[in-house]
Amino acid sequence: MSTSSLTPSELAASIDPAVTKTVPRATGGRSTGGRLCGGFLSSELVTMFRRWRNRALLIALAVIPVALGLALKLTTGTANGGGGNGGGGGGSGFIDQVSNNGLFLVFVALTLTLPVFLPMALGVVAGDAISGEASQGTLRYLLVAPVGRSRLLAAKGISLVLFCFVSSFVVSISAWVTGLVLFPLGRVTLLSGDTVSYSDALLIAVLITVVVAVSLLGLAAIGLFVSTLTDTPIAAMAVTVGVTILSGILQSIPQLSSIQPWLFTDQWTSFADLLRDPVYTANIVHNLWIQLLYVAVFGSAAWARFSGRDVLS
Amino acid sequence: MRREPGRTVSDAADIKGTGGGEAGVAIATQGLAKMYRGGQLAVDSLDLTVPTGSVFGFLGPNGSGKTTTIRMLMGLIAPTAGQARVLGVDVLLHGKRALPRVGALIEGPAHYPYLTGAQNLARYDAADAAADPRTRAARVAEALDRVGLANAAGKKAKAYSLGMKQRLGLAAALLQPRELLILDEPTNGLDPQGMREIRSLISSLAADGTTVFLSSHLLDEIEQVCTHVAVMNHGRLVAQGPVAGLYASQQARLAVTTEDRDLAATVLKEAGGEDVSIAAAVVSCAAAGLVPEAVCAALVGAGVRVAGFGVQRPTLEDAFVALTGEGFDVDQ
């Protein structure tokens, strides 16, 4: 800006030799962590949220609580709570509560989106992580830039973690706003029968959203791993979503009770325990351990696969 | 001579008197080989030497192993055997040290269709850990300007034409001042003006001291811009060295266009011409050792009605076909 007398090439020539000649040799490969935050991770996040497909996924997630709220608003007038059509104990309990307190729409929306819609959105984004770059050919240009394979995988992993949180909060914030508009406010009756103030309940809602986001981390790791296996993003997305469905099916077969505690979907409903006083933490902690295990196993597998793989796309 | 691996046309190490030392060599491979799963040997014991400062044409029929070689040079695939050194650095072990100094266009450009041209370049620039984020915008603007895309910087890449995408790919390779450019088919999809611009860009980069490693099917292009060439066939290097060296295997021919074919052939033989051949209205012989002016005078003196006379210099195409065969079918 101040060097208006210089042509662009002179300008770049005056700046760039210093960049190329000193920085790479001075810092070498040891600056991965520092550079990740400053440079490529932000590029990764900007790219992720600039993409209309990902925005559309988040918009769809935001619409679900609104539709749910409207449906409940219209039906409660006539059927007054209706039958417990939610299936699981927590779900139907929440649905009955929504007409009394809008905040319960947050819990209902998370209960309904966690088994299908959140994993589906995450499956699309996670399955696309590496395979999408491979299929559009950008992977080879990132690697020769050179981005560094571990650095690329780390940026993808961190952005997926962020997507888990963003997508969960999109659902709960949309549900919270819808609840504010359509339903009464006030003290909240917990599942254990105690009542807490609205602000305390709001804090619980935030905690529950965090637990839901954390519940998705294992799947994110699976998706990242699958996306390193193929150059076809659709296949990776289908496998990731399919794995969730498969896990749900295995969950429902009584003969498999010995492996069920190790399925990543096993404790997905544990977030409802935060609505008890005192909070029943055993399942929530179990859930955290499961997710941690999956992230460790599939994160390592993704790294092992990707760091040595021939990139032919 | 044809099917012999390794150096055939001339000894590449002698080029420019550098003696093959690290300082004068931009790319050096030793016994580089790649066998894909399924046992297909894509590249076989490749000893490639690209002198610093050269414009190096990398030729070969489709499926001859050029792209596999380039991918190994860029650290995208691991060699089954051998070693590849780029700018004096073993790419497999220390790619991070060499790659920021190398710009590459590999198997066509690739972009994020939903990002603009400038955003695409900013992403590639961010991928390079050595690139300073504070000067990113300036680098992106200059690279776009250099390939003539300054006016399309804000347009989504999916709206770019094939030629514009190719330019954007080149711009990515030129984000930093590079010591080595590896360009695979850089003029693919460009119109004639675009091709000229890219050729003059390559020439100006080479004049600044950048080594350019150019893979192309356009032999004209190689002939126009390259100082050195290597030819691959069936995964092996069949020739490498200065462009002039490649022609040395091909002989220039004296060609006479005439109606009096038999008489002309006799005169050429008497003048000492070897390998005399008659094809349609053209009688030709090897030009080596003959003085064209004297032969022409002899022809006219003998009463041959000369309609055309000239020395046919061998083209790169002749040399290429001689080295790789006429076959049109893709091997394997």
Write out the DSSP string of A155-217: HHHHHHHHHHHHHHHHHHHHHHHHHHHHS----EE-TTS-EE-HHHHHHHHHHHHHHHHHHTH
- Predicted confidence at residue B7, as pLDDT, reads 35
Q: Report CA torsion sign: B236, B238, B244, B247.
A: negative
B130 in contact with A at a CB cutoff of 8 Å?
yes
Q: Can you list the alpha helix ranges (DSSP code H) found in chain B?
A: 66-73, 91-98, 117-127, 136-146, 162-173, 192-207, 219-225, 243-248, 261-270, 292-301, 316-324
Q: Confidence band (pLDDT; 50, 70, 90) for B272?
A: confident
Which of B36, B92, B96 to mutate to probe the A interface, most A CBs <10 Å? B96
- Predicted confidence at residue B224, as pLDDT, reads 84
* pLDDT (mean) for B103-119: 94
* pLDDT (mean) for B64-70: 92
Nearest CA in chain B to A46: B123
- Predicted confidence at residue A270, as pLDDT, reads 92
Q: Confidence band (pLDDT; 50, 70, 90) for B23?
A: low
Looking at residue B13, what DSSP letter applies? Answer: G
Asked whether the predicted pLDDT for residue B197 surpasses 90, the reply is no
- Predicted confidence at residue A11, as pLDDT, reads 39
Closest CA to B71 of B97, B37, B32, B101: B32
Asked whether the predicted pLDDT for residue B109 surpasses 70, the reply is yes
Cβ pair B77:A144 closer than 8 A: no
Structurally, at CATH architecture level, domain B12-248 sits in 3-Layer(aba) Sandwich (3.40)
Task: Give the CA distances from residue A122 to residues A130, A217, B182, B231, B255, in Å, rounded to whole numbers and listed in that order.
Answer: 14, 9, 37, 48, 71
- Predicted confidence at residue B249, as pLDDT, reads 66
Quote the distance between the C-alpha of residue A220 and its chain's center.
Answer: 7
* pLDDT (mean) for B132-142: 93
A181 in contact with B at a CB cutoff of 8 Å?
no
- Predicted confidence at residue A113, as pLDDT, reads 95
Share of chain B above pLDDT 90, in %: 45
Higher pLDDT, residue B134 or B245: B134
* pLDDT (mean) for B115-141: 93
Closest CA to A152 of B57, B96, B283, B48: B96
Nearest CA in chain B to A38: B133
Lowest mean pLDDT across B45-49, B198-202, B210-214: B198-202
Identity of the residue in B106, B130, B145 whose CB atom sits nearest the CB atom of A8: B145
B84 in contact with A at a CB cutoff of 8 Å?
no
Are residues B247 and B255 in contact, defined by beta-carbon separation less than 8 angstroms? no
Identity of the residue in B78, B101, B123 whose CB atom sits nearest the CB atom of A47: B123
Q: Confidence band (pLDDT; 50, 70, 90) for B87?
A: very high
- Predicted confidence at residue A36, as pLDDT, reads 56
* pLDDT (mean) for B33-54: 92
Closest CA to B174 of A16, A40, A7, A138: A16
B74 in contact with A at a CB cutoff of 8 Å?
yes
- Predicted confidence at residue A92, as pLDDT, reads 57
Listing from the earlier edge strand, what are the strands of the sheet with B236-242?
Answer: B102-105, B180-184, B211-215, B55-59, B228-233, B236-242
B99 in contact with A at a CB cutoff of 8 Å?
yes
Share of chain B above pLDDT 70, in %: 90
Q: Which of residues 152-171 of A touch B (CB under 8 A)?
A: 152
* pLDDT (mean) for B121-138: 92
Q: Number of Cβ pairs closer than 8 Å across A and B?
A: 137
- DSSP string for B94-114: HHHHHGGGEEEE-SS----TT
Cβ pair A138:B145 closer than 8 A: no
Asked whether the predicted pLDDT for residue B18 surpasses 80, the reply is no
Q: Confidence band (pLDDT; 50, 70, 90) for B35?
A: very high
Cβ pair A143:B74 closer than 8 A: yes
Nearest CA in chain B to A31: B129
A27 vs B contacts (CB less than 8 Å): 129-130
A33 in contact with B at a CB cutoff of 8 Å?
no
With a cut of 50, list the residues of chain A below it in pLDDT. Answer: 1-33, 79-90
Q: Give A7 to chain B, closest Cα distance, Å.
A: 9
Closest CA to A106 of A24, A15, A32, A198: A198
Asked whether the predicted pLDDT for residue B21 surpasses 50, the reply is no
